[in-house]
Structure 1
Amino acid sequence: MLTLPPLPPHPVPLCVIVLVIVAASTDLTARRIPNRVIALGLAAALVAQIALHGPLAGALTWLAGAACGFALLLPFYLLRGMAAGDVKLLMMIGAWVGAALTWRIALATFLIGGLWSLAVVLCRGRVAKSLTNLRQLIGGLPVAPLDRPNLIDAQSESIGTIPYGVAIAAGTLGLLFATAL
């Protein structure tokens, strides 16, 4: 049986719920996650962690969670698979909930985002093009220099994008509610 880490102490879950709903709604409507939401969330998370755990333990919990969220999505940003706002959003969530829950939120997010992306590909009838792009991406990984602007050549056509902040919010809300049960 899968065991989840304990739910973070209050007011952490409520604050995270509000922040991810705001981020998801702006990503859905404007296709971006505002930096001011991320900055406010990071600052409030630091204050909350210090208040809950003391200065040193709170700052370390905040840092470990933020670093975990950042590190989990950074490779996808570097491969041009997601936007910087998505990386920063998971970093902010990590600062609130800590590294252990951030890891699980990322796994839930990958599942939700992957299924959603697959549905987009299938609904648009773009399976063959998606496989071609994937083959190109994987084929270019071992030899592609890091400063190259895109691992898929300029003639590759995008299948489409999804507002991944919504998938991150869904993964976060799902894990918070599952942990609360």
Structure 2
Amino acid sequence: MVFNVILLIVLAICVITDLKSRLIYNKVIFPALLLSILLHIFFDGLSGLGFSLLGFLVGFSILLIPYFLGGMGAGDVKLLALIGAAKGPMFVLHTSIYMALIGGVLALFILIFSGGAFKRFKYYVYCLFVRKNGVYVPFALTKESMKKTYPYGVAIAGGAVISLIGKAWIL
């Protein structure tokens, strides 16, 4: 129960800061991480420490490759690692599945409702039609379109909340 309260408070703060400034602050993550590890040690001793560290490593490793590829911020990686440290490895695995589903839906909505989505779609259909007739037209991906970001902390928090209240009711 204590870990759920800590997690919900941290998730609420991270969602707000991620929506406002596209940042998840270390001054929120690190104290909660330390508190989670210390509480696991207090309640369960060394086995609690192992449980918390294993959850941390699983959560950290899930988003590490997307971070190195430039598709994820470091705050998102640390937030998922915190979720693992607070609730354990199986919880963070369930969270990551829900997080991916929510993130995909969120990305789809942003793609559809951002400016120029219909224009890009029309361009790609045209390129495919022209390519079918033997003319090569490269896909036009501008640097601006590749720099679009969205607050993935919202998807992480949504996945954690679904895992908290659902007990894997979607899977």
TM (normalized to structure 1)? 0.75
Is 2:49 the counterpart of 1:59? yes
Tell me, yes or no, if the aligned pair for 1:121 and 1:159 is still in contact at 8 Å.
no
Give 1:61 deviation, angstroms: 0.8
Same amino acid, percent of matched pairs: 34
For structure 2, the residue ranges without an aligned partner over 5 or more in a row are 125-140
For structure 1, the residue ranges without an aligned partner over 5 or more in a row are 1-9, 133-152
Give the distance between the partners of 2:108 and 2:84, measured in 1 at CA.
26
Q: CA-to-partner distance for each residue in 1:78-113, whole Å, 9 max, x for gaps?
A: 111110100000001110000001000011001001
Q: If each structure's helix is expressed as a fraction of its own residues, which one has the higher value?
A: 2
Backbone CA RMSD of aligned residues: 2.2
Runs of 4+ in 1 over 4 A off after TM superposition: 153-156
Task: Select the structure with the greater relative contact order (CA < 8 A; seq sep ≥ 6).
Answer: 1
Could you tell me which residue of structure 1 aligns to residue 104 of structure 2? 114
Tell me, yes or no, if the aligned pair for 2:94 and 2:168 is still in contact at 8 Å.
no
TM (normalized to structure 2)? 0.80
Give the distance between the partners of 1:95 and 1:123, measured in 2 at CA.
36
Amino acid at match of 1:63: L
> What is the aligned residue count?
149
Tell me, yes or no, if the aligned pair for 1:46 and 1:59 is still in contact at 8 Å.
yes
Equivalent runs, 1:139-178 vs 2, <5 Å: 155=143, 157-158=145-146, 160-178=148-166
Amino acid at match of 1:170: G
Is 2:22 the counterpart of 1:22? no
Mark the structure with the bigger radius of gyration: 2
